[in-house]
Structures are given as C-alpha cells and as structure tokens.
Structure 1
Amino acid sequence: MTHDAMRLKCDLLIVGAGPAGMSAAIEARAAGLEVVVADEGEAPGGQIYRNATQSPLADAHVLGDDYLAGRALIGRFAASGAKHLARCVVWQIAFENRQVIAMLTRSLHGEQGGGTLEVAARAVLVATGAQERPWPVPGWTLPGVMGIGAAQTLLKSAGLAPSNEAVLAGCGPLLWLFASQLLNSGRGVRAIIDTTPPDAWRAALPHALPALAGADYLLKGVRMMRAVKRAGIAVHRGASAFSIEGEGRAERVRFVDGHGAPQSIDTPLVLLHQGVIPSTQLPRSLGCAHEWDASSACWRPRTDARGRSSLDHVWIAGDGAGIGGAKAAAHAGSLAALDIARELGVLDAPSRDARSRPALRALKRHLAVRPLLDALYTPPAALRRPADDVTVCRCEEISAGEIRRIASLGCQGPNQMKAFSRCGMGPCQGRWCGTTVSELIAQVQNRTVGEVGYYRIRAPIKPVTVEEIAESIALDNDFTRGEFPS
C-alpha cells in the first residue's frame, strides 16, 4: 500500500465497516490483498454493532447477545491488517484507467490530519447497509418524532434512552427488538401501535415451512413479544389511519385499532418504523443497475450470488444488496471478497469455490426466514402512499398532493419531478422521499414502479463543503490563477 501526500493506493476499497465490510476485509486480507475500509463511524461495527467494544452503557448486555457477538468480528477485523479510515465520508467514486478512484473527506473534529483523501483501488465493495423505510404520515415532521433506528443509535452511541412516555409505532422486527432493549435497560414504553395488517399471516403462511430452517430467528421474535407482554405494555394491533398531532411539537397520536375503534394516546415522543430498505445512493451514483423488488416494496441493486454488480470492478454485499440481517451480511461480505480475490488474480477458481462453500451454506440458512418476514412485515400500499396533505419531501416541503398533481400532468419520472418541484434536491438528496415519489407517480399513471424509475444520483453523494471539493482538484506545478472577471 502506498501513501503519496493525500493519496492512497490499494487492491480493494471497502465502503462501510459493518458486518459485510468487516468480514470482506478479513477474507480479502487472508487472500493477500491490500485493503482500505472507509466508514463514517467512530469505530467499526456499523449500525448493528455500533460501539459494541466500547459501549457507553453500564451494562451492554441490555442490548442482547446478538449485539455482543459483534465484538468477536470487530476483533478479527482489527487484527486483519486492513487499513481502517474512521469518520470518512465517501462522496464520489469514478473510474479511470481501469481503476476505481474514490474521494473521501475525513473529519477529525478539529484535530490535525483531516481533509480530503483520494483512494485508488483495483476494485470496490459497497457495504453501506440499510436505511429505515420512510413512513410519511400526518405530523411526521414535527419535533418529537423520529425513527426507531435513530433512537437506537442514540442508545448505542451515547447511552441515551427515550422517556417512558414514548410511543412506538409501525411494524417489523426492530419495533420489538428496541422495545425489549428498553425494557432490559430499565425503561418502559407508553404503548406499541402495530400496523401489521390483521390478514398479513395469509400471505406469510406459504413461507412458514421453509422459514423453519431459520427457526432461531422466529424464536427470538417470540421471546421479544413475550417480554413486552409480561411488562404490561399496551399493544394495539392491526392499527390504521395513524397520525401525529400537536402545536409546534408532537403531543398525541391518533389511529383506528384492529376493531375499528378510534384511539388517541397523549405522548411527547413518537418513534416510527416500517422496516428497513437497502441504501442505494452510492451504487446508483456509479451507474449500477437496480430493480424494484415487489415482494419487499423497495429498490435493490442487481447482483449475482457473490455480490458482483452490473459494473466491472464493483461488488455490493450486505443489506445494501438486499435485506438479510447481520449474520447473512457477514457471509455475503466473505463471498464477495473471495470473488474479488479471484478477479484480481490472487485466488484461482477452485480455491475460491472451496473457500466459499461454508459461507454459501450459512447464507442460505440465514436467508431462509426472509420471505416469511417480507410477506408479514412489508407495509401495504396504503401505508406507503400517503394522503395528499402529507409532506413527502421534508427538505423542500413538497406534499403528496403536489407530487400527484404534477404526475397527472404527464411527468415521466422522479428526475422530471425534481426539475418541476425541487423534490429530492435537499440535503438528504432524495434518501427520504425517493421511494415514495416513485410509488406515487406509478399510482397516478397506472405504471409499475420499475417503469417509473428513481432519482439520478450525482456526486457529491454526501454533503461536502466547497473547500473540501477544491482540495480534491489536482493542480499542475505551472498552474497560475487568473483574474476574476469584473
């Protein structure tokens, strides 16, 4: 590995130090590759294992055995010899002379050594994980409303737990996991509002038998739900027509329960969750092909079984390639690294295949439960396509009604919608509205979401300053600054 001023060279650049990124780095180093891992976190682990080795909690066991199991993986990653760049934002990746050229901005919170860094690699593995699915409901932009994933990040990174007055609303495994973690830490929950449709089990039933291969996941879910029941927390199942109200901040939630009765709960803190979806911004900016996955109602990059994308030199692994959970992500990262080692010539095909077999078997087992969970917890269209008066683009304050109105005029897709309304042009760059915008256009025009498409993502894919961009521009020795026109 060479280091020239603010430039690095390596065989493999991995973006993301979660389970997939760490496992890939371990496997790639074992094969003899020089590896750089860039991650935005303070320490390796990703969201699932955030601060697993240095938890601010007095007793990290409250977060569960799965969380603590991440310590072993983090230890192996630290000992692998991969170069870990913490607090790094990858804001551009381009291709030049059969190399991957990535621009990174490193923040050291005022310390020396930050700035812009260029990494040249022979291959890149995108392991950026997942993001929470946006759930636009009335009042979701009020202060006092946040995602359960964000609340869990505060618990893991700073030991901050919400008050006992919090209401958890939505569906999916994280809803119950976070509730059980709060109970373990001595906190309570005001209520859980479960929006899983009462008849969702009918769609899930055909997947029940294959899911038994991952029975341990099902048992964990049952244990978490039992813990909530033993704690006496009110659980409202089959909820619909959910909204948040308040003057200047969240004050109450309203919904219709599974029996059709209107309900209201006073609360200053509402935590929302409707599952997670792949984070696709980086591979989209590279031009990787994506497809709409109707079974889980989200976009996912098109990859083969080893994580190879539609572009040469680019692999994608972990939840960023399709939601499978931490253990599946780790095995997917190993498989991708072995395939990269084969592509770069340090492993032959028989060696790659032999080393891949255990990971392939394990990956199949850990993914066995996914069709059942997708059928059970993928929110129905009514929850994904809000009413006209609901804000969809939080950055530019564009409502669902405005998006539907423009779509009815013949707007062909999200990129034209962006030009007409500025929807998707804010700091989040479409992360929190893109999926909803595609679905609303498809609804109005009676097209499939796959036909409508998604935003065209351009660099910088994360907000950076002009100074940081300027630092990335190489200047010749004979460069002279011209006069600015008067």
Structure 2
Amino acid sequence: MTSIPQRDAYDVVVIGAGPAGLAAAALTAGAGLATLLVDENMGPGGQVWRAITTTPVKEKRLLGDDYWAGQRLVDDVRASGAEILQRATVWSLDRTLEVGLSIDGGARLVRAKRIILATGALERPFPIPGWTLPGVMTAGAAQTMLKSSGLLPQGRVVVAGQGPLLWLLSAQILRMGGMIDLVLDTADRRNRLRALPHLPPFLTSPYFFKGLAMMREVRARTQVVGGVTSLAARGSGRVEALAYEAGGRRSEIPVDVLLLHQGVVPNVNLAMAAGVRHRWDDVQLCWVPELDERGESSVAGIHVAGDGAGIGGASVAVHRGRIAARAVIEALKPEAGLALADHATLASELARAERGRAFLDVLFQPARQFRIPADETVVCRCEEVTARDIRESVALGATGPNQLKAYRRTGMGPCQGRLCGLTVTELMAEARGRTPAEIGYYRLRAPVKPITLAELASLPKGEDATKAVVRG
C-alpha cells in the first residue's frame, strides 16, 4: 500500500476497492499489467466488506459468512503486485483516461491505458417528511459504524424500509446484542404478483434460503409490521417520533434513532462526468451505464464493473470485475489472457450468479410515495429545496434537472446530486407527464467531489493541469 501514486502513468487504473475492484485489480496486476487500485476509504472492501481487515467484530457469525468471504480477494490483491492507494478521492476522469486524485491534502493527475470503474452503489434516496432530522440515518451509515467500530444504535431504535440490506442490518444489530424496537416493512405487497414470473429461478438461487433465514431470525427477535404505506419523522431539533400507516391504521411511536433504507442504486456520477452514456432502467428505477458484454462503455478504454453497472450484489460484482479485467488484459497483453478463463466461461459464471436477481428487483421495487414525495418534504438536502419548490419551478418552465439548477440550485451542493438526483428526475417526470428517460439527469463535470483550492494549487503547473480543472 502506498501513500501517493508511484507513477504518472499506468496500464490500468481501477477505481473502487469493493468486490468488483478487488477482483479486477487482482487479475490485471497478476497478468503483469501496471495496476493502480484507488479507493477513498481507510482500507479495502467497499461497503459490502467494509473494514474487513480492521473491524473489531471478530466473531464471524455476527456479520455473517458473506462478509468474511471478502478476505481472500483482499489477500489476492495484496499478493498480486497491484499498487493500492487508500484514502484517495477521485474528483476527475475524462475521455483521455486521465484521473484527478486528491490525497494527503494534495492533488495529482495520473494517466491510464484502461480504466475500470468499480464505484459500487449508493443507497436510494428515501425522502420522507423529517428525513433530515438528526437521529435519522441510512441503514448503510449504521452498518458502516457497526463494521468499522463495532458501534450499535442506542435508545429507541426503529428500522424502516425494504430490501435485503434492511434485513441484514437488523439481523447484525440483534446478533451483536443491540435492541430494535420495531421494523417497519414498506415493501409494496402488490409487487408479489408482479414478481411471480421470476420466482422459479429465485427458488434455486442462494438468495432464497439466505433471505428466508434472515427474515425469520429478525421476526423471531423483534416486532415487524408489514404493509407500511406512509412514514413521517417528527421532532424538535432531533427525531423524537415516527408516524406510520399500515393496513389503513395510523400509529405514532417514540424513537431516538430511525434507520431508513429502500434499496441501492448504481453510483453513476464519475461515469457520467467522463461522458459514459447511460439509460434509464424501468425495473431497477435508476440510471445504468450502456455497456457491451465485456463491460466496456461508450467511452473507449473505460470499463464499468460491479454494482455501478447495475445492482447485482457482491457475487455478481466479483464476476463483472473479472470480465472487465479479462477484456483489459486481452487488449493490453493478449499473451497473458491465454492463461485465464475465456469470456464464454466468465459469462456463464456471471449468469449463474445473477440467477434470482430479477425476482428481487421486482419484489423490492419501491412504491411511488416513497420515491416521489409530498410537497412539504425536503428533496435536495444541500440547498434545502422541497418537492413543492421543484413542482413550482416546473410550472414556471423548468424542463429538466439542469434547468432546475438555475431556479433552485438543486444538485449543486457538496453531494453533487447523489442524495436528490433520482428524486428530482422522477418528480419532474411526473410533473411534466414525461418518462424519466425523457427528463434526464444532472449534467456532471469535474470536480465530481469537493476539492479545496489548496489541493488545486498543488497540481503541477501546466496546460494539462489547467484543462483538468476548467474543462467543460
């Protein structure tokens, strides 16, 4: 592991050290390609295997076998000869395959012959009234603290939402001795019928037995209310209560910590900023990059792997990482590719890993009211813009997310649209009677993550550095 890049140019730069990035970097470096693996976290693993080399949670059953499966990939990468750069933020990527890095208070530019984007997933925005109150967190944030520091939520804890992570986090909290007062399941029961055509493959997939066992574990140890159709957090200065409706009955309970989750979506900001074409996925209800069968995007030399290419989970991400790496090796060092599994074999392995995914995508598709909020709900947290503000802007003539910036500054804060982008697209689509694909997404450009003026000033002076900052 290094503290700064040891070269100005590499054969391959892999961005993201989660399942896909680790799998890809291990193959490319093992094939003899100069490989830089870049990640902004303290250690490798991404969100799925976060803190796997440093977690204080040592009893394996507490986090589950799937978590510890990542250790072998971490070992493979460290033995491969890949240069690993942790706590490095990528704030720029362009069509020339030049990467802008922020590390140790300075900025660096490195070039690559190929890029593998393995930026993973983000939690889908869950804009309910009161979601900005202190004490309201995402399930992913709570899981980060649990894995990294062994910290558990304290006080009256409610977990609300849907999807596999909701049940996994609840099980992990309970196994570690934490308390959950209530789990509120917002999964739309009408999705069960829609998911039925995809049931047979799901029943023969690993998801079925793991998911069933996890849900039974949680239900045996805490109260679960299903069929929840509305949520609203309330409080003065911090969350104090949660109102919800289930089965036509309204209830309100006191709460100190509210953990929200309604699935994950690809983290597309860096790929979009690099000019990679994306399309709207009507099943996963999010933007996904347009890729060929080997993971290459519309920008020559940029491959996308893992959940950044479409949500599939850790096992699917590993296979996608290997497919992208195999394509890169074939392009840069064909003789090394002869010793690897061919693309047909890798594609077959990927298909097996994806078996059952279609059922989950339909079953856990979030209901409209949890994606497109009521007028008083804050949508853009950075600029404190409500759904009403956005609907009024549409009435005044805003046609899409980029025009909305001029009206309300949505998507222009530190998160660069990560917490509001999908909501803005769907809200404006509904208000205009258009599809999300017709409305589009924010136009993204460097820097895609905040960078200080001091870091910019530390760049080597020259034409290339200037273009990296001011390119349109």
TM range (shorter): over 0.9
**Which of 370, 376, 379 is equivalent to 1:383?**
370
Q: Residues 35-55 of structure 1: CA distance to partner in whole angstroms, max 9, x if unpaired?
A: 001100111111111111221
Q: Aligned partner of 1:283: which letter?
A: A
Q: Residues 259-294 of structure 1: CA distance to partner in whole angstroms, max 9, x if unpaired?
A: 211111111110000100000000000010001101
CA distance in 1, matches of 2:31, 2:7: 24
Q: CA deviation at 1:116?
A: 1.9
CA distance in 2, matches of 1:458, 1:357: 36
Q: Aligned partner of 1:170: which letter?
A: G
Counterpart in the other structure of 1:226: 216
Q: CA deviation at 1:4?
A: 11
8 Å CA contact 1:6, 1:116 repeated in 2: no
Counterpart in the other structure of 1:458: 445
Counterpart in the other structure of 1:75: 75
**Which of 142, 160, 172 is equivalent to 1:169?**
160
Q: Which runs of 5+ in 2 are unaligned?
A: 464-472
* Matched residue SS, 1:287: coil
Q: Which runs of 5+ in 1 are unaligned?
A: 108-113, 477-486
Q: CA deviation at 1:197?
A: 1.5
CA distance in 1, matches of 2:243, 2:288: 33
Counterpart in the other structure of 2:254: 266
Identity over aligned residues, as a percent?
44
Q: Aligned partner of 2:216: which letter?
A: R
Counterpart in the other structure of 2:313: 325
Counterpart in the other structure of 2:289: 301
* Matched residue SS, 2:142: helix
Counterpart in the other structure of 1:250: 239
CA distance in 1, matches of 2:63, 2:28: 30
Normalised to the residue count of structure 2, the TM-score between the two structures is 0.94
Q: Aligned partner of 1:184: which letter?
A: R
The two structures, once aligned, show a CA RMSD in angstroms of 1.8
Q: Aligned partner of 1:74: which letter?
A: V
Q: How does 1:335-346 map to 2 (within 5 A)?
A: 335-346=323-334
Q: Does 1:392 align with 2:389?
A: no
CA distance in 1, matches of 2:370, 2:49: 30
8 Å CA contact 1:103, 1:472 repeated in 2: no
Moved more, 292-301 or 340-349: 340-349
CA distance in 1, matches of 2:335, 2:234: 59
Q: How does 1:295-444 map to 2 (within 5 A)?
A: 295-347=283-335, 351=338, 354-444=341-431
Q: Pick closer, same or farther for the CA change 1:14–1:336 going to 2, 3 Å.
A: same
Q: CA deviation at 1:31?
A: 2.4
Q: Aligned partner of 1:89: which letter?
A: T
**Which of 110, 130, 135 is equivalent to 1:139?**
130
Q: Aligned partner of 1:242: which letter?
A: L
CA distance in 1, matches of 2:404, 2:434: 16
CA distance in 1, matches of 2:335, 2:369: 49
Q: Does 1:21 align with 2:21?
A: yes
Counterpart in the other structure of 1:190: 181
* Matched residue SS, 1:240: strand
* Matched residue SS, 2:398: coil
Q: Which has the larger radius of gyration?
A: 1
Q: Aligned partner of 2:244: which letter?
A: F
Moved more, 276-285 or 363-372: 363-372
Q: Does 1:101 align with 2:75?
A: no
CA distance in 1, matches of 2:391, 2:60: 47
| Poorly superposed stretches of 4+, deviation over 4 Å | 3-7
Q: Pick closer, same or farther for the CA change 1:474–1:180 going to 2, 3 Å.
A: same
Normalised to the residue count of structure 1, the TM-score between the two structures is 0.92
Count, aligned residues: 461
Q: Residues 112-139 of structure 1: CA distance to partner in whole angstroms, max 9, x if unpaired?
A: xx52222111011100000000010000
**Which of 265, 270, 276 is equivalent to 1:288?**
276
* Matched residue SS, 2:101: strand
Q: Residues 83-124 of structure 1: CA distance to partner in whole angstroms, max 9, x if unpaired?
A: 00010001112244xxx21111113xxxxxx52222111011
Q: Residues 53-105 of structure 1: CA distance to partner in whole angstroms, max 9, x if unpaired?
A: 22122534310010011111111111111000010001112244xxx211111
8 Å CA contact 1:51, 1:156 repeated in 2: yes
Q: Aligned partner of 2:98: which letter?
A: I
